[in-house]
């Protein structure tokens, strides 16, 4: 009897869940009859030999994105952080490994967080919580030092208000901006890829402008070391809260960040 590769990996105990199986496949760690498998939907049957390449210490590919951003931006992980769009917990895992004492993991889905992380006393998981409904009361009324955000299928501009509402006045917001979810479907190229640098710049600028309207200004930004699905270029932007709603210094900083991020790219 044939079935999907991701389902079969979970059934045979080679993956903790279908989402974990998809992560393994995306990372090129799954072999079917000795050959690398690229698609979770690949049909396999009981006679196919499934193997994993060397073990990966992280629960998802996203972990490597955050690792690169923390290093490139020089961000020290604070004691209390919130992982917005936690999914299997790649960002949560990195935060813990970097010394965070408590991580609040929030996701609209259910049963996605890796069991090891779910059972870690340093992790508080809020499942089924739409980030549009995020506020201090929803997470126990305790403001955090840092919010890291990795969301899909929604523009970050719609979530900045809720995300910043749970951060301490001197805290920071580290967002991963995915142009493929910011520019609109009509501007996506083949395979859902945003190929034009001007469109990627437009996507980042729109998020920065939305944050500035809330009094949050970019302190620095870098491209993700790891591309998104189908090769999309993604960006991490680190925001801090301004002293006032209209901060000329913050506006200048935003321009400098954009110039550094896109200066070498062609329109």
Query: Which pLDDT score, from 0 to 100, does residue 267 have?
Result: 43
Q: Does domain 62-262 have CATH number 3.40.50.300?
A: no
**In contact, 177 and 156? CB cutoff 8 Å:** yes
pLDDT at 127 over 90: yes
Encoded tokens for 115: 């069991």
Query: Which pLDDT score, from 0 to 100, does residue 147 have?
Result: 99
Q: What is the pTM of this model?
A: 0.79
**In contact, 91 and 67? CB cutoff 8 Å:** no
Give the pLDDT mean for 204-215: 95
Rounded to the nearest 10°, the torsion over CA 158, 164, 166, 171 is: 160
Helical axes 62-73 vs 90-97, angle rounded to 10°:
40
Domain boundaries, the chain: 3-52, 62-262
Q: Which of 17-21, 25-29, 175-179, 260-264 has the highest mean pLDDT?
A: 175-179
Identify which of 127, 126, 167 has the alpha carbon closest to the alpha carbon of residue 147.
167
**Cα dihedral sign for 104, 217, 156, 191?**
negative
Confidence of residue 247 (pLDDT cuts 50, 70, 90): low
Query: Which pLDDT score, from 0 to 100, does residue 250 have?
Result: 60
Confidence of residue 241 (pLDDT cuts 50, 70, 90): very high
Distance CA 261, CA 265 (A): 8
User: What is the topology classification, in CATH, of domain 3-52?
Assistant: 3.10.290
DSSP string over 167-180:
EEEEEEEEEEE-GG
Of 49-53, 136-140, 166-170, the one with minimum mean pLDDT is 49-53
Write out pLDDT tens, residues 55-97: 778 888 899 999 999 999 999 999 999 999 999 999 999 999 9
Encoded tokens for 48: 């196919």
């Amino acid at each position: 009897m044939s079935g999907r590769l991701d389902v079969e990996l979970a059934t045979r105990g080679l993956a903790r869940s279908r989402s974990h199986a998809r992560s393994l496949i995306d990372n090129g760690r799954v072999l079917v009859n000795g050959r690398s498998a690229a698609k979770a939907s690949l049909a396999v049957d009981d006679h196919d030999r499934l193997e994993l390449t060397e073990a990966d210490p992280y629960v998802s590919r996203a972990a490597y994105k955050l690792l690169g951003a923390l290093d490139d931006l020089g961000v020290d992980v604070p004691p209390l952080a919130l992982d917005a769009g936690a999914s299997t917990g790649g960002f949560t895992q990195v935060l813990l490994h970097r010394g965070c004492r408590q991580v609040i993991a929030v996701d609209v889905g259910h049963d996605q967080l890796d069991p090891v992380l779910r059972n870690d006393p340093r992790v508080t998981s809020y499942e089924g919580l739409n980030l549009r409904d995020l506020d201090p009361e929803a997470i126990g009324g305790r403001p955090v030092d840092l919010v890291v955000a990795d969301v899909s299928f929604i523009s970050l501009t719609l979530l900045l208000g809720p995300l910043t509402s749970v951060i301490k006045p001197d805290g920071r917001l580290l967002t991963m901006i995915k142009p493929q979810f910011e520019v609109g479907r009509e501007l996506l190229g083949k395979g859902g890829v945003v190929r034009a640098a001007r469109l990627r710049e437009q996507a980042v600028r729109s998020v920065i402008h939305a944050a500035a309207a809330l009094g949050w200004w970019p302190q620095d930004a870098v491209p993700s070391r790891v591309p998104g699905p189908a090769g999309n270029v993604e960006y991490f932007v680190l925001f801090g809260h301004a002293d006032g709603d209209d901060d000329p210094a913050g506006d200048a900083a935003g321009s400098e960040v954009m110039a550094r991020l896109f200066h070498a790219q062609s329109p």
